[in-house]
Amino acid sequence: MDKVLEVKDLHVSFDTYGGIVKAVRGVNFDLKKGETLAIVGESGSGKSVTSKALMRLIPNPPGRISKGEILFDGRDLTKLSEKEMQKVRGKEIAMIFQDPMTSLNPTMKIGSQIMESLIKHQNLSKSAARERALELLRLVGIPQPEVRINQYPHQFSGGMRQRVVVAVALSCNPKVLIADEPTTALDVTIQAQILELMKDLQNKIDTSIIFITHDLGVVANVADRVAVMYGGQIVETGTVDEIFYDPRHPYTWGLLASMPSLDTSVQTELAAIPGTPPDLMHPPKGDAFAPRSAYALEIDFEHEPPMFQISDTHFAKTWLLHENAPAVEPPKAVVDRRRSMSANFAKPRLVEEAVR
């Protein structure tokens, strides 16, 4: 499968009065044509900063991409001028943000906001752009598009506003769509509708999606591959099945153990990850997760672990995978999930949980 995007050794820093915050520290990943890559992690792990760096939306100052490459269509986006990036944003790489109300201009009609991108990037006439805008509103499930196209954002519900934002993002058929927690501000019912909409539209326009979220239930329903971020780094990456049913990093274990399950045959307590995320103004010497991990080894506090390969698609950044490391058992919740999958084919149930 062809790669549409490659991120190599990406570093993003912010200059503050207290010092330099190293928000993203050596991130590597790729995105293949037509796939959905989910980037997950708790608040402060560097997910949103990474996504904004891909669009070159890091405000400078105080932020900057201090190192690394973002390769898209044979071009390194970090080397493009702002004028060149303006031709990429919206047309080739589009973004959906968390809150639809802050993504839409409250003083402009919905139709004008969709048409704006079509006129700028597709060179359509106003009449042709309006027809395309109506098509997009129908595509994302907005009822009575002929009426709604002349209305303002405040006249739409939260779920309908997010559908409009999706329409704006997809207006130019981008090759890459970045969705930065697009369902966080929505209730669960509407959240499921938006996720289903994105999956359906991806099949229709064959775009690749980077889905940023802290909700592992959402990941189970939408992603092909998952990258787990912690302390500004990717600590584990693999297919959905590998991350959910064969996780190897203690941080991934903690995330899964804290995820509720509707499987009544398995009785487990929700676990919490102790401690707080690292201070990225003074990044830790070894494994960033070591101070919060019950499985930390002495070497974790001295040397940063490399990425160990588990399979062709599965990698994890933990010394527990070293050949000389002691054998450890994951938390009970993770073991129970693996057993449940083997005995009861739990994955369909997990997906069902995600859309409820």
Mean pLDDT over 167-183 rounds to 88
pLDDT band, residue 351 (cuts 50/70/90) = very low
Mean pLDDT over 246-252 rounds to 95
For the chain, give the mean pLDDT.
88
For 321, phi and psi rounded to 5 degrees?
Answer: -90, 0
> Which class for 67: exposed (0-12), middle (13-18), buried (19 or more C-beta within 10 A)?
middle
Mean pLDDT over 114-140 rounds to 91
Q: What is the pLDDT of residue 100?
A: 78
- Beta strands 3-16; 63-72: pairing state: antiparallel
Q: What is the pLDDT of residue 20?
A: 95
| pLDDT score of 266 more than 60 | no
CB 5 within 8 Å of CB 182: no
Mean pLDDT over 183-191 rounds to 77
Length of the chain in terms of residues written: 356
List, in sequence order, every residue forming a beta bridge with 93; answer none if it has no partner.
Answer: 89, 176
Q: Of the ranges 45-59, 94-108, 112-126, which one carries the lowest mean pLDDT score?
A: 94-108
Q: What angle do CA 179, 185, 187 make, to 5 degrees?
A: 115
| pLDDT score of 219 more than 90 | no
| pLDDT score of 263 more than 80 | no
The identity of residue 107, as a single letter, is T
Per-residue pLDDT reduced to its tens digit, 64-110: 999 999 999 889 999 999 999 999 998 899 998 877 778 899 999 99
Contacts of 226 (CB under 8 A, 6+ apart): 37, 38, 39, 40, 219, 237, 238, 239, 240, 243
Q: What is the pLDDT of residue 195?
A: 83
Domains belonging to the chain, first-starting first, are 228-355 (3.40.50.300)
Percent of the chain's residues with pLDDT above 70: 91
- Beta strands 176-180; 208-213: pairing state: parallel
Handedness of CA 101, 106, 110, 116 (dihedral sign): negative
Give the CA diameter of the chain. 68
> Distance between alpha carbon 251 and the CA centroid of its chain, in Å?
17
Mean pLDDT over 159-174 rounds to 89
> Which class for 297: exposed (0-12), middle (13-18), buried (19 or more C-beta within 10 A)?
buried
213 three-class SS? strand
**Cα 104 from Cα 8, distance rounded (Å):** 32
For 332, phi and psi rounded to 5 degrees?
Answer: -55, -40
**Tokens for 281?**
């103004």
For 138, phi and psi rounded to 5 degrees?
Answer: -65, -40
Q: What is the dihedral of CA 115, 120, 122, 127, to 10 degrees?
A: 40
User: Is this structure's pTM higher than 0.95?
Assistant: no
Mean pLDDT over 9-36 rounds to 95
Nearest to 186 by CA among 206, 200, 207, 166: 166
Query: In 10 A of CB 127, how many CB atoms?
Result: 9
> Which class for 66: exposed (0-12), middle (13-18), buried (19 or more C-beta within 10 A)?
middle
Residue 61 preceded by cis peptide, ω within 30 = yes
Q: What is the pLDDT of residue 344?
A: 43
Q: What is the pLDDT of residue 214?
A: 85
Q: What is the pLDDT of residue 73?
A: 87
Provide long-range contacts, Cβ within 8 A and 24+ apart, for 146-149. Answer: 148/110, 149/109, 149/110, 149/111, 149/114
Q: Which residue has the higher pLDDT, 196 or 36?
A: 36
- Beta strands 315-316; 36-40: pairing state: unpaired
Q: Which residue has the higher pLDDT, 37 or 258?
A: 37
pLDDT band, residue 337 (cuts 50/70/90) = low
The identity of residue 156, as a single letter, is F
pLDDT band, residue 352 (cuts 50/70/90) = very low
CB 8 within 8 Å of CB 79: no
